[in-house]
């Protein structure tokens, strides 16, 4: 197997990742019906984010909107690594909290744990969206 074969195994868009996400939920025993009307929306606060980089070597310059606007590969790599680790912890927390649903002392506690698990999945969902949407092949390879 060469590198091209490995890359081709990865779907290149977010919609394909959503299917993998669904399979992950099944593997860990999370029933999607538990989500009720909870939705995995992508949330960005564009109104308050501003359009200029706020600190560091690139302070005052326009914020980067696409991967190739990032001037150095080491910065691209660092961003991808941070987003990957963030997403990884979101999904890992759901896997670790999963047992709380069966052992919650009250229904209120069970619903609270379930709400947290939903929110953690949404956070990971957003990290996968970032990787798939803004970081091309490299981002797609990084997601879970
Ligand atoms: Fe989170």
List the chain domain ranges: 3-40+70-142
**67 CA distance to ligand 1 middle (Å):** 24
pLDDT score at 67: 87
**123 CA distance to ligand 1 middle (Å):** 5
**124 CA distance to ligand 1 middle (Å):** 7
**1 CA distance to ligand 1 middle (Å):** 36
**49 CA distance to ligand 1 middle (Å):** 20
pLDDT by residue for the chain (144 residues), tens only, comes to 454 555 555 556 888 889 999 999 999 999 999 999 999 989 988 889 999 999 999 999 999 988 889 999 999 999 999 999 999 999 999 999 988 999 999 999 999 999 999 999 999 999 999 998 888 777 766 666
CA–CA gap between residue 137 and residue 144 (Å, rounded):
13
**52 CA distance to ligand 1 middle (Å):** 26
Contact 134, 67 (CB under 8 A): yes
Say whether 52 sits in a helix, a strand or coil: strand
Pick the closest to residue 20 from 136, 128, 138, 130 (CA basis): 128
**13 CA distance to ligand 1 middle (Å):** 23
State the maximum Cα–Cα separation within the chain, in Å, rounded to a whole number. Answer: 53
pTM beyond 0.85, yes or no: no
Token output for 71? 């001037």
CA–CA gap between residue 24 and residue 17 (Å, rounded):
10
Token output for 15? 């919609």
């Amino acid at each position: 197997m060469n590198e091209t074969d490995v890359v081709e195994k990865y779907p290149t868009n977010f919609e394909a990742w959503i299917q993998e996400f669904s399979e992950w939920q099944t593997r860990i025993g999370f029933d999607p019906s538990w989500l009720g009307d909870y939705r995995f929306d992508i949330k960005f606060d564009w109104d308050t984010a501003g359009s200029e980089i706020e600190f560091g070597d690139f302070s005052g310059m326009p914020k980067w909107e696409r991967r190739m606007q990032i001037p150095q590969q080491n910065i691209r790599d660092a961003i991808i690594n941070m987003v990957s680790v963030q997403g990884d912890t979101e999904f890992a927390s759901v896997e670790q909290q999963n047992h709380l649903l069966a052992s919650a002392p009250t229904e209120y506690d069970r619903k609270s744990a379930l709400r947290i698990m939903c929110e953690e999945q949404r956070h990971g969902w957003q990290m996968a969206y970032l990787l798939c949407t803004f970081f091309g092949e490299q981002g797609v390879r990084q997601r879970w």
